[in-house]
């Protein structure tokens, strides 16, 4: 089931969660037509630093890649610059910085996709994300294994049978309001009960994501 699908609506005048959950969205962000993944579909622009989308606290965002569960977080991203260190895509930890319990998905200083939880970083291998290009990014967990995909190609897998509670689900910023990923974001989808992608490769969706 889709637990969140964040897109622009009403001719690009608002950002909404069009899933059945319809989570409220706060934060600091802009809507832009400068880079559109899909024709006539404005995107969310985050300038880095503390800009972000915040969907608040909900069990819909609890990460569960244990043996009996399936989860997938994905988005289209057009990065425009790096911070020089970690560039945050998704953040679920509480508090303000430090090694709190929770899941963080980020791009490191080498452009590699990484998965953090409870003080340990996984990944940091595979193809580098490039600036000023659209990329499909997906992280999928099932059967105690997490797989990270870039443009439909699996970058790495790791045994992470982790079940964690989200304190606040944020896109594009760390929990202390820093290290935000700058760029254009579209089709930010959270799915539970369906891993969506598996194997070594797949063809990323050719159109806007379905809300089911």
- Residue range 152-188, pLDDT digits in tens: 999 999 998 776 777 789 999 998 899 999 999 999 9
Write down the residue that tokens 């709190």 correspond to: 100
Rounded Cα–Cα distance for residues 91 and 153 (Å): 23
- DSSP sequence for 86-119: -EEEEE---SSSSS-SSEEEEE-TTS-EEEEETT
Which range (44-48, 58-62, 158-162) has the least confidence?
158-162
What integer is the mean pLDDT of 134-148? 94
* 138 token code pair: 């997906």
Please report, to the nearest 10 degrees, the dihedral formed by the alpha carbons of residues 143, 207, 86, 15 taken in order: -110
Q: Are 139 and 122 in contact (CB under 8 A)?
A: no
pLDDT at position 108, please? 94
| The pTM of the whole model exceeds 0.85 | yes
What integer is the mean pLDDT of 22-47? 95
Which residues make Cβ contacts (< 8 Å) with residue 171, sequence separation at least 6?
Answer: 6, 52, 53, 54, 55, 75, 89, 90, 91, 185, 188
Does the pLDDT at position 148 exceed 80? yes
When pLDDT is cut at 50, 70 and 90, the band that residue 96 belongs to is: low
pLDDT at position 97, please? 56
Which contiguous run of DSSP H or E holds residue 73? strand 70-81
pLDDT at position 168, please? 84
Collapsed DSSP state (helix, strand, coil) of residue 123: strand
Rounded Cα–Cα distance for residues 36 and 12 (Å): 11
Nearest to 198 by CA among 78, 97, 88, 72: 72
pLDDT at position 98, please? 54
């Amino acid at each position: 089931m889709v637990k969140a699908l964040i897109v622009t609506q009403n001719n690009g005048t608002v950002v909404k969660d069009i899933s059945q959950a319809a989570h409220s969205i706060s934060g600091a962000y802009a809507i832009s037509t400068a880079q559109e993944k899909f024709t006539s579909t404005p995107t969310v622009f985050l300038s880095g630093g503390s800009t972000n989308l915040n969907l608040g606290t909900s069990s819909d965002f609890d990460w569960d890649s244990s043996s009996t569960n399936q989860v997938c977080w994905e988005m289209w991203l057009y990065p425009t610059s790096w911070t020089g260190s970690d560039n945050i895509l998704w953040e679920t930890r509480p508090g303000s910085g430090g090694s709190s319990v929770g899941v963080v998905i980020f791009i490191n200083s080498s452009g590699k996709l990484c998965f953090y939880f409870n003080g340990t970083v996984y990944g940091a291998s595979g193809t580098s994300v490039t600036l000023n290009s659209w990329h499909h990014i997906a992280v999928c967990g099932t059967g105690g294994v997490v797989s990270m995909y870039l443009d439909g190609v699996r970058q790495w897998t790791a045994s992470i049978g982790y079940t964690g509670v989200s304190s606040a689900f944020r896109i594009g910023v760390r929990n202390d309001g820093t290290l935000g990923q700058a760029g254009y974001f579209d089709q930010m989808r959270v799915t539970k009960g369906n891993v969506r992608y598996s194997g070594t490769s797949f063809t990323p969706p050719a159109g806007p994501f379905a809300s089911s």
